[in-house]
């Protein structure tokens, strides 16, 4: 087997591996980026991310892939589930209450769908949330690590800002707690996998010319 054949074979294997996962969006393309939510001794909520407008989470498009059920909203979109909500330390909202996240402002063209734990993508609802498709602006978080799905149709920068508060079962704010806030930053970028394939294609072409 010469070098050209080896490269072609590995491309075939990569293609087969990708197609067996068709039906579910790609979740392990990105490392996890956690939104750490904590509550201080004065019952004030805080949230911390390592990202910024200059260091955003990237959203990628996987051209030609189609996803099942509600996840089909991600078809042909730039998307990512890199951000995950995560509790940092002891957060006690009180009996019957929970942490609610409410979208306060966001870029036009940014959509969000409910995710969950990354190991269980097949069990996620992909329901539109945070105002997407007319959904409620607030979303009840169960306190488990939750990686929601963000998407956009166009390349470019996006951001979303959230209020984090303690609410009752209906999402009404409970007195005695101070809200937190966090801004998430996104950049829809050309897919590196497409670029990598282009690179591999030109390598194969070069080898063939020499042969
Ligand atoms: Cu996570």
The answer to whether 180 and 207 are in contact (CB under 8 A) is: no
**Per-residue pLDDT tens over the stretch 129-147:** 999 999 999 999 999 999 9
- Count of domains forming the chain: 1
Overall average pLDDT of the 101-130 stretch: 96
pLDDT recorded at residue 28:
87
- The whole-chain average pLDDT of the chain stands at 86
**Per-residue pLDDT tens over the stretch 58-93:** 999 998 899 999 999 999 999 999 999 999 999 999
**Per-residue pLDDT tens over the stretch 148-182:** 999 999 999 999 999 999 999 999 999 999 999 99
Compute the distance from residue 139 Cα to the ligand 1 centre, in Å.
Answer: 18
The Cβ of residue 18 has, within 10 Å, a number of other Cβ atoms equal to: 14
The answer to whether 151 and 73 are in contact (CB under 8 A) is: yes
pLDDT recorded at residue 6:
40
Share of the chain above pLDDT 90, in %: 75
Compute the distance from residue 29 Cα to the ligand 1 centre, in Å.
Answer: 13
> Over 90: is that where the pLDDT of 198 sits?
no
Q: How far apart are CA 80 and CA 188, in angstroms?
A: 9
Q: What is the three-state SS of 10-53?
A: HHHHHHHHHHHCCECCCCCCCCCEEEEEEECCCCEEEEECCCCC
Structure tokens at 19: 């197609």
Compute the distance from residue 206 Cα to the ligand 1 centre, in Å.
Answer: 42
Q: Compare 16 and 136 and report the one with higher pLDDT.
A: 136
The Cβ of residue 206 has, within 10 Å, a number of other Cβ atoms equal to: 11
Mean pLDDT check: name the lowest of 100-114, 161-175, 193-207. Answer: 193-207
Q: Compare 63 and 102 and report the one with higher pLDDT.
A: 102
pTM for this predicted structure: 0.81
Q: Where does the pLDDT of residue 193 fall: very low under 50, low under 70, confident under 90, or very high at 90 and above?
A: low
Q: Which domain holds residue 88?
A: 3-210
Compute the distance from residue 98 Cα to the ligand 1 centre, in Å.
Answer: 19
The label of the residue with tokens 């330390």 reads 89
Compute the distance from residue 153 Cα to the ligand 1 centre, in Å.
Answer: 25
The answer to whether 16 and 9 are in contact (CB under 8 A) is: no
CA 122 to centroid of chain Cα atoms:
15
Compute the distance from residue 4 Cα to the ligand 1 centre, in Å.
Answer: 39
């Amino acid at each position: 087997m010469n070098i050209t054949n080896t490269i072609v074979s590995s491309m075939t294997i990569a293609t087969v591996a990708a197609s067996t996962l068709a039906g579910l969006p790609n979740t392990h393309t990105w490392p996890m980026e956690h939104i750490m939510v904590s509550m201080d001794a004065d019952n004030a909520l805080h949230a911390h991310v390592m990202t910024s407008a200059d260091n955003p989470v990237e959203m990628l498009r996987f051209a030609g892939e189609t996803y099942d059920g509600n996840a089909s909203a991600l078809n042909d979109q730039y998307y990512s589930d890199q951000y995950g909500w995560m509790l940092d330390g002891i957060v006690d909202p009180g009996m019957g209450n929970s942490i609610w996240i409410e979208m306060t402002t966001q870029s036009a063209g940014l959509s969000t769908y409910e995710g969950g734990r990354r190991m269980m993508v097949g069990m996620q609802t992909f329901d539109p949330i945070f105002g997407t498709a007319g959904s409620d602006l607030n979303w009840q978080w169960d306190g488990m690590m939750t990686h929601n799905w963000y998407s956009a149709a166009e390349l470019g920068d996006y951001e979303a800002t959230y209020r984090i508060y303690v609410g009752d079962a209906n999402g009404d704010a409970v007195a005695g707690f101070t809200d937190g806030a966090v801004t998430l930053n996104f950049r829809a970028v050309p897919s590196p996998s497409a670029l990598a394939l282009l690179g591999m294609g030109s390598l194969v072409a070069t080898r063939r010319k020499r042969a």
